[in-house]
Amino acid sequence: MKRVFSNIGQLQTATGSAAVCGKAQNELKTLSDAWILEENGVIAAVGTGAAPTADETVDCRKKLVTPGLVDCHTHLVFGGWREHELAMKLQGKTYLEILAAGGGILSTVRETRKASEDALYEKTRDLFLEMLACGTTAVEVKSGYGLDLETERKQLRVVRRLKEEFGDVASTFLGAHAFPEGMDHEAYVNWLCETAIPTIAEDGLADFCDAFCDEGVFTAEQSLHILNAGKRFGMVPKLHADEIKEIGGTQAAARVGAISCDHLSETGEEGIKALRDGGVIAVMLPATSFYLKKPYGNFRGMIDAGVPVAVATDMNPGSTPNLSLPFAMTAGCLYGLLTPSEMLTAATLNGAAAIGMAKTLGTLEPGKQADLVVWDADNLDQLIYRYGTNRAAAVFKRGVRMTGKENLWNA
């Protein structure tokens, strides 16, 4: 079965099968009047001018086509929502006050423990379909709302089901998301390393292991301990760091050989050097900064220093209930001062690299999977500029149309 995507007004894509950094992050391949030939879900050829014949033709109506977006940092599996905290936030209540009123992350832990696996799956699936409609075709999903073995495994089984249904879903064990109520911190770290990680590895439930290394959460030393334990059981390390304060997270990420270090809104010069020297991908989460009204981080400095930068939504019920990666891209351009081209690389190839999928995803080149988005936009600037409504006109995964705006597509 051959399918040709013809009449592409502008095709824009990063190139290669590994994360790119520095000036290369800004260098996209741009083709006008282009076509893509797909065979059995894989891109067979890309060209300009007259399109080759195929079994099926998809007319892209002179629109912008990019690779499917890769959301490399989400917390998509959770019970309940936390919209009632909005009023408290608007009254100026601090996170600690919200926590004292029974809100915050531990309320999500309670709701997630209560929810059945099937209910969690239905909810996660619906959320994923919303992301897909906005142009995201591959996603990473973390656990971390159980903080006990039963619930963490339940969350990771939900991720596995999502992967079985849609493919290209990376799973991350984030038992080190918070400390369970009333538990001694050292005892919890030991339990994670000696009981939780080996059990989850035995079930093959996690590709990555992550920890929240920040003030008031896990120290750099505790995070290293946890990530090294994960590594011994075949889980690739990732790290949440420098969201609140620099406490050595970037250095820990570099030391343990983390594939990515995420948040980084408070990272300074030394941290940037540590990431560059450690070959760690920096994942920016600008939608979180937006919702929390917090700093966006020195991602311009990271690109200039040669750190590959990716972008993700960080979708979660507390600090950013946003599923749209295009919204995060616009916020990241405006407040992180990335160019639209750098941002597209961040949301595709570098995002794929941050979850170990850059060999098959993230660019529109022969041999890559035919995951692509036809945007209701003429060019990339217009996509970033016209934020706030969904501009994905049609989203294709392995060449198959998954979702799109019927009114635009069939008009």
Smallest separation (angstroms) from Zn ion to the CB of 314: 5
Nearer to Zn ion, 9 or 79 (CB): 79
Q: Are 256 and 231 in contact (CB under 8 A)?
A: yes
Nearer to Zn ion, 144 or 340 (CB): 144
Direct distance between the N- and C-terminal alpha carbons of the chain, in angstroms, rounded to an integer:
26
User: And the tokens for 328?
Assistant: 């995060």
Q: Which distant-in-sequence residues (6+ apart) come within 8 Å of 221 by Cβ?
A: 252
Binding mask 262-301 for Zn ion (x = CB under 5 A): ----------------------------------------
Tokens of 133: 């409609």
Half-sphere exposure of 98 (CA within 13 A, CB side): 22
Q: How far is the CB of 399 from Zn ion (least distance, A)?
A: 32
Q: Which x/- pattern over 312-331 shows residues binding Zn ion (rule: CB under 5 A)?
A: --x-----------------
Q: Quick one: which segment of 48-56, 244-252, 289-297, 306-314 binds Zn ion (CB under 5 A)?
A: 306-314
* CB-CB neighbours of 150 under 10 Å: 9
Using only C-alpha atoms, what is the Rg of the chain?
A: 21
- Closer residue to Zn ion (CB): 38 or 314: 314
User: CB under 8 Å, gap of 24 or more: what pairs does 332-335 form?
Assistant: 332/284, 332/286, 332/296, 332/299, 333/384, 335/286, 335/289, 335/290, 335/296
Whose Cβ is closer to Zn ion: residue 243's or residue 246's? 243
Pairing of strands 392-397, 400-404: antiparallel
- Residue closer to Zn ion by CB (options 246, 314) is 314
- In the complex, what is the shortest distance from the CB of residue 75 to Zn ion, in angstroms, rounded to a whole number? 6
CB of 164 to Zn ion, least distance (A): 24
Q: How far is the CB of 349 from Zn ion (least distance, A)?
A: 21
Taking CB positions, which residue lies at the least distance from Zn ion?
A: 314
Which phi and psi angles does 285 have, rounded to 5°? -130, 70
Site for Zn ion in 217-246 (CB under 5 A): none
Per CB under 5 A, the segment of 193-201, 310-318, 324-332, 397-405 that binds Zn ion is 310-318
Going by the DSSP 8-state scheme, the letter that residue 93 receives in this structure is -
The whole-angstrom separation of Cα 109 and Cα 385 is 37
Q: Which is nearer to Zn ion, 152 or 314 (CB)?
A: 314
Q: How far is the CB of 73 from Zn ion (least distance, A)?
A: 6
CB of 241 to Zn ion, least distance (A): 11
Binding site for Zn ion (CB under 5 A): 314
